[in-house]
């Protein structure tokens, strides 16, 4: 990802496994200032996908790894407090997505993807609105995103690589 000020970061999202009745989703980000990693155990994803409603999704626990490698696990009452804050913030989130249309062929460092789907999205959150265009392809796991470009062209995300095997957990 390259933001409007030219700062670059590399992010990796993976499904790290299953535990405690849910999927473990891990995200790691590296930029010039720091390296961060977070794991979340999430229950109810299949039900939410089938219903088209995220109400049944439950965060069971969160692990956060700091710069020194120390891991903090958040669960129980602390997680319950965090859930209420997130839920209140998410109530102000408004996402509008246009219908997916033919996005043509898109080339990024991870490869060239023919027959992509393009969608324009408007996200309003806490009084700010962000518009972007994203290209998705069914060969890319998790969210399918190949490329995303902000409306003003100052923020861009491109797929560097993907796969179904070989990712190593930060935890």
Which tens digit of pLDDT belongs to each residue from 59-114?
899 999 988 889 999 988 888 887 777 666 655 666 777 788 999 999 999 999 99
Question: What global pTM score does this model have?
Answer: 0.72
Q: Select from 54, 49, 83, 63 the least CA-distant residue to 19.
A: 63
Q: Read out DSSP for 112-163?
A: EEEEEEEEEEEEEETTEEEEEEEEE-TTSSTT-EEEEEETTSS-EEE-----
Query: Distances from the Cα of 16 to the Cαs of 9, 22, 52, 120, 143, in angstroms?
Result: 21, 11, 24, 30, 15
| Whole-number pLDDT of residue 87 | 62
Tell me the chain's radius of gyration from C-alpha atoms: 17
Phi, psi of 24 (to 5 degrees): -100, 115
Identify the residue whose tokens are 């849910």.
22
Please state the rounded mean pLDDT for residues 21-27. Answer: 91
Secondary structure letter of residue 9 according to DSSP: E
Please state the rounded mean pLDDT for residues 44-73. Answer: 82
User: Cβ of 89: how many Cβ atoms within 10 Å?
Assistant: 11
CA 106 – CA 119 distance, rounded (Å): 13
Q: C-alpha angle 112/113/119, rounded to 5°? A: 130
Flag whether pLDDT at 149 surpasses 90: yes
| Whole-number pLDDT of residue 140 | 92
| Whole-number pLDDT of residue 146 | 96
| Whole-number pLDDT of residue 92 | 60
């Amino acid at each position: 990802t390259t933001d409007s000020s030219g700062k670059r970061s590399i992010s990796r999202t993976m499904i790290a496994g299953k535990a405690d009745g849910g999927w473990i989703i891990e995200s790691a980000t590296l930029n010039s200032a720091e390296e961060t990693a977070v794991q979340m155990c999430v229950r109810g994803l299949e039900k939410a996908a089938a219903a088209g409603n995220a109400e049944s999704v439950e965060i069971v626990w969160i692990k956060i790894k700091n710069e020194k490698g120390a891991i903090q696990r958040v669960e129980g009452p602390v997680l319950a407090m965090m859930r209420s804050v997130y839920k209140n913030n998410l109530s102000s989130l408004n996402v509008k997505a246009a219908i997916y249309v033919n996005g043509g062929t898109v080339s990024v460092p991870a490869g060239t993807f023919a027959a992509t789907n393009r969608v324009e999205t408007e996200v309003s959150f806490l009084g700010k609105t962000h518009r972007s265009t994203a290209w998705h392809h069914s060969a890319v796991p998790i969210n399918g995103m190949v490329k995303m470009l902000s409306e003003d062209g100052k923020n861009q995300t491109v797929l560097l690589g993907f796969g179904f095997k070989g990712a190593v957990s930060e935890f």
